[in-house]
Amino acid sequence: MKKSPVKWYIITVSLFFLFISPGFLTDGMFMDGIIYAVISRNFALGTELFGSLSFSETLDKSFYGHPPLVFAIQGIFFNLSTGLYTERIYSVFTYLVSGIVILLIWKKISFSKNYATASIPLFIWLLAPGTSWGAMNNVLENTMTIFVLLAFFLFVLGKSNNKWYFVVFAGIAAFLAFMCKGPTGLFVFSIPFWYFVVEKEVKFFEFIKQSIWMLLGFFAGFLFLYIFYNKAFEFIIIYLDRQLLGSMTSAQTVPYRAFILKRLLQEISVVLVLSVVFFALRKKLNISQSEFFGQKKAALLLIFIGLSGVLPIMVSLKQSAFYILSAMPFFMLGFALLTESSWLKLGENVSNSKVARTAFSALAAILLVAAIVVNGLQVGKFGRDKLPLESINEICTIVPHHSVVSINDYDRTQWSMHAYFQRKACISLDFKEQNRHLYLVSSAEISGADTVLYIFE
């Protein structure tokens, strides 16, 4: 692995693009991802900085559902292009940036302490089903993951170099994570606590001091908004009042609070099994038990930080599986540290065998070609919602862009339909004043089959 890092990286990146091929260059996306793309595009076409978000003329004309940072960053991509692939490219871009931060973290905390073996945590990260799903669906957690990882890296940098300002920068990164998805990104404030618990040499006073430095960086971000972008500061106040407090008191999307724990087990199940297999094979790989658990403290630290990003979600019954995507890299880094010695031994065995090296090189080349070909073959196809999208695409060629079209009460809660029409042609759907505009009706209302949409004068 150390002797042929490029091949390992080629395999990892090729597998990533193979895993996301069903949704990367195809039409159709998870509803939330389309909505975020629409808001980002509208933000890019607007003139105000951070203070004004909008979905459509008839729905959430003033949007306060989430903090504005993701829409502002994604809006930069929409300034370059408003085509079908803009949000998909942005979504994959966030994963590539997160991958780079993981490389930086790995070099600081791993036993090998080099980039050559950093494909280990990246490969393990791929084994979580949510990783490829998130990359295909443009959720806010994609961007937030960059900042929570950056917060951890900056904290480790400050701790290892005894530089307090890096810890302040970690707090600023926590602020940026908050500005992506709200409080779900604040689990990084548990980092000083878990260092205090896991590493016995960390004194209580040091834990308090590090926490204060992080908080100073965090609140400095809000102070900056208050002084220089007051409208954005007011936006956050409204968001906290409308969205956050409302979700804790009334919204419910799951039947029980432990739902998120079930999803976590599903995400890490493959890695858990792989870790057990490596532990069982440690003697055959000539790895002692003490060597296998040599990075136990660092692994536990990362897993505890990951749990800090999952357990607080149980406070609310408003939960979704993708809420834990930003915590997953910490779990995967932890498991990567536990199994690092096994991966290194496997890499060594491959390097020492000419046949294995040749086969490995062939595998890397095959996967790279396959990733390019498979994704290329997806262009022009539908990844999901094929039947309604065929109708929507056809209607968007007839109805002028930026039109308002009336819909029946039956279709008023078809939020993905609202999102697709707005994303493709800036068409707003109006369920309040029927017959005032062109009138849209789905065949579900007529025959019970949600397949075709009709447009009437």
Over 50: is that where the pLDDT of 162 sits? yes
Q: How many residues make up the chain in this entry?
A: 457
Asked whether residue 326 is assigned to any structural domain, the reply reads: yes
* Residue 428, H or E segment: strand 428-430
For residues 363 and 444, membership in a common domain is answered with no
CA distance 96 to 77: 15
113, 157 contact by CB (below 8 A): no
Q: Structurally, how many domains does the chain consist of?
A: 2
CA distance 310 to 438: 46
Spell out the alpha helix ranges (H) of 187-229: 191-198, 204-228
Higher pLDDT residue, 199 or 446? 199
192, 164 contact by CB (below 8 A): no
349 alpha-carbon distance from chain centroid: 35
For residues 317 and 396, membership in a common domain is answered with no
Over 90: is that where the pLDDT of 364 sits? yes
Instruction: Give the pLDDT score at 198.
Output: 92
Over 90: is that where the pLDDT of 101 sits? yes
State what percent of residues in the chain have pLDDT above 70. 91
Q: Range with the lowest mean pLDDT among 92-96, 217-221, 280-284, 358-362?
A: 280-284
For residues 345 and 450, membership in a common domain is answered with no
For residues 364 and 443, membership in a common domain is answered with no
Phi, psi of 4 (to 5 degrees): -135, 55
Instruction: Give the pLDDT score at 51.
Output: 59
Encoding tokens for residue 283? 């003697």
Reported as a pLDDT band with limits 50, 70 and 90, residue 448 is very low
For residues 369 and 400, membership in a common domain is answered with no
Instruction: Give the pLDDT score at 433.
Output: 61
* Boundary-marking domain end, from 353, 374, 395: 374
Over 90: is that where the pLDDT of 294 sits? no
For residues 220 and 349, membership in a common domain is answered with yes
For residues 399 and 450, membership in a common domain is answered with yes
State what percent of residues in the chain have pLDDT above 90. 64
Over 50: is that where the pLDDT of 396 sits? yes
Q: For residue range 230-266, what is the model confidence (pLDDT) as tens digits?
A: 888 999 999 988 876 666 555 678 888 899 999 999 9
* Residue 430, H or E segment: strand 428-430
For residues 350 and 410, membership in a common domain is answered with no
Instruction: Give the pLDDT score at 200.
Output: 78
Over 70: is that where the pLDDT of 1 sits? no
The residue range of the domain holding 121 is 5-374
CA distance 385 to 294: 49
Encoding tokens for residue 387? 């039947």
Higher pLDDT residue, 301 or 287? 301
For residues 281 and 158, membership in a common domain is answered with yes
Encoding tokens for residue 16? 């990533």
Average pLDDT over residues 406-426: 88
3-state SS track over 28-65: CCCHHHHHHHHHHHHHHHCCCCCCCCCCCCCCCCCCCC
Higher pLDDT residue, 17 or 112? 17
Asked whether residue 381 is assigned to any structural domain, the reply reads: no
Q: Is the dihedral of CA 350, 351, 352, 357 positive or negative?
A: positive
Over 60: is that where the pLDDT of 446 sits? no
Residue indicated by tokens 């809660």: 413
For residues 16 and 165, membership in a common domain is answered with yes
The closest alpha carbon to 226, from 213, 241, 216, 236, belongs to 236
For residues 134 and 47, membership in a common domain is answered with yes
* Boundary-marking domain end, from 310, 339, 374: 374
Higher pLDDT residue, 256 or 443? 256
For residues 39 and 121, membership in a common domain is answered with yes
Over 90: is that where the pLDDT of 411 sits? no
Q: At what angle do helices 140-161 and 328-351 cross, to 10 degrees?
A: 70
The closest alpha carbon to 124, from 343, 334, 271, belongs to 271
Instruction: Give the pLDDT score at 138.
Output: 97
Asked whether residue 380 is assigned to any structural domain, the reply reads: no
